[in-house]
């Protein structure tokens, strides 16, 4: 009897321990991924593998140019009532061409785009640099991982058409989560003004990138933690991790897409862009940059990146 009693106590303690550990893990992962957090910097970027300091001279010179430009701070409302922010660099030479830029996870527009803004501006584009919801100066408690942001992107597209005219030429550019955002946006009913998309190190879905990070950083299986955190995300943020897959979107789109990825990326694995490219049904190109980590392709091989984008935009900017 004593042996059975103590065996039951030990079993109960183990079950309680597992439940507590699972509850703590779920709460930690949910807070880590979904809730708004402070804007990332070079020092605290969530993807610590990318050594941004090796590019600091290039980044600093581009930021100096960026900060010297006249900018307009723009605000619109999302479909669910959030105040969204973007920074507009209107080209000094009046232009019908606008690139709408979307940043990466925990960053903001002015962090991610000073370098590429100069490139696009010198190619005659107006540059609209968005703060995605729950980032930068845009409102929001919950990060959208492209699923919610794609709807906001449609609002920014409508704003651009209203601002620059029905004959506007629009390109979408995104890094990481922003890359997933612009690919997911391709699945919406967009105006013909949207001519092409540049998706840099985009993930295929929130589910895919989360399971990758769980394995890479925590060495734990996706079940049941992913299922539980997804339940709370659906309840609070209004979307599920599998609600939108870029693979489904690009397999049906007719919008031309340039996929870019660094082959050393271990945050959003390069296979995600390769798979997106493989199934993409529209005109497409793929640039893999050797030796580049996450969101680093532009800095590792600026010439190859700019040449690929120039060729691409020249095909569709008419």
User: Mind listing the domains of the chain with CATH numbers?
Assistant: 1-33+206-242 (no CATH), 55-205+244-316 (3.40.50.1820)
Taking residues 23-31, report their average pLDDT.
68
- How far from chain centre, in Å, is Cα 139? 17
Strands (DSSP E) along 90-216, which ranges? 97-102, 126-131, 169-175, 194-200
pLDDT band at residue 7, thresholds of 50, 70 and 90? Answer: low
Which residues share a beta bridge with 194?
170
Which residues share a beta bridge with 65?
none
pLDDT band at residue 137, thresholds of 50, 70 and 90? Answer: very high
Q: Using CA atoms, how far apart are residues 226 and 210, in angstroms rounded to an integer?
A: 8
pTM: 0.93
- Contact assessment for residue 106 and residue 46, using Cβ atoms and an 8 Å cutoff: yes
Which residues, in sequence order, are CB contacts of 191 under 8 Å at separation 6+?
Answer: 157, 158, 161
Q: What tens digit of pLDDT does each residue of 43-91 get?
A: 565 555 788 889 999 999 999 999 999 999 999 999 999 999 999 999 9
What local confidence, expressed as pLDDT, does residue 38 receive? 87
Taking residues 134-156, report their average pLDDT.
98
Please say if the pLDDT value at position 1 is more than 70.
no
26 HSE (CA, 13 A, CB side): 17
Q: What tens digit of pLDDT does each residue of 226-248 get?
A: 999 999 999 999 999 999 999 99
Q: What percent of the chain has pLDDT over 70?
A: 90
Which residues, in sequence order, are CB contacts of 187 under 8 Å at separation 6+?
Answer: 150, 244, 248, 249, 252, 253
Please say if the pLDDT value at position 170 is more than 90.
yes
Q: What integer best gives the mean pLDDT of the chain?
A: 92
Q: Which residue has the higher pLDDT, 21 or 9?
A: 9
Instruction: State which H helix or E strand residue 72 sits in.
Output: strand 72-77
Instruction: State which H helix or E strand residue 289 sits in.
Output: strand 284-289
3-state class (DSSP) for residue 104: coil
């Amino acid at each position: 009897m004593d042996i059975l009693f103590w065996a039951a106590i030990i079993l109960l303690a183990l079950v309680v321990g597992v439940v507590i550990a699972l509850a703590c893990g779920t709460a930690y992962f949910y807070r880590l991924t979904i809730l708004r957090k402070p804007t990332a910097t070079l020092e605290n970027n969530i993807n610590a593998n990318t050594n941004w300091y090796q590019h600091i001279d290039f980044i600093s010179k581009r930021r100096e140019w960026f900060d010297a430009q006249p900018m307009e701070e723009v605000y619109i409302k999302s479909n669910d009532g959030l105040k969204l922010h973007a920074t507009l660099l209107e080209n000094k030479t009046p232009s019908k061409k606008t690139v709408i830029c979307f940043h990466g996870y925990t960053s903001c527009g002015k962090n991610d785009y000073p370098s590429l803004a100069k490139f696009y501006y010198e190619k005659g584009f107006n540059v609209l640099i968005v703060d995605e919801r729950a980032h930068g100066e845009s409102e929001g408690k919950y990060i959208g991982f492209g699923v919610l942001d794609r709807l906001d992107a449609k609002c920014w597209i409508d704003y651009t058409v209203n601002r620059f005219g029905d004959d506007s030429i629009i390109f979408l550019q995104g890094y990481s989560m922003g890359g997933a955002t612009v690919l997911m946006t391709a699945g919406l009913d967009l105006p013909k003004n949207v001519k092409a998309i540049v998706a840099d190190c985009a993930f295929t879905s929130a589910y895919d990138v989360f399971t990758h990070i769980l394995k890479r950083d925590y060495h734990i299986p996706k079940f049941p933690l992913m299922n539980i955190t997804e339940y709370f995300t659906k309840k609070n943020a209004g979307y599920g991790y599998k609600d939108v897959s870029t693979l489904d979107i690009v397999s049906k789109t007719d919008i031309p897409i340039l996929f870019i990825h660094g082959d050393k990326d271990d945050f959003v694995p390069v296979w995600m862009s390769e798979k997106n490219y493989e199934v993409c049904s529209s005109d497409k190109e793929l640039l893999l940059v050797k030796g580049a980590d996450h969101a680093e392709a532009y800095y590792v091989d600026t010439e190859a990146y700019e040449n690929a984008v120039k060729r691409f935009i020249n095909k569709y900017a008419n």
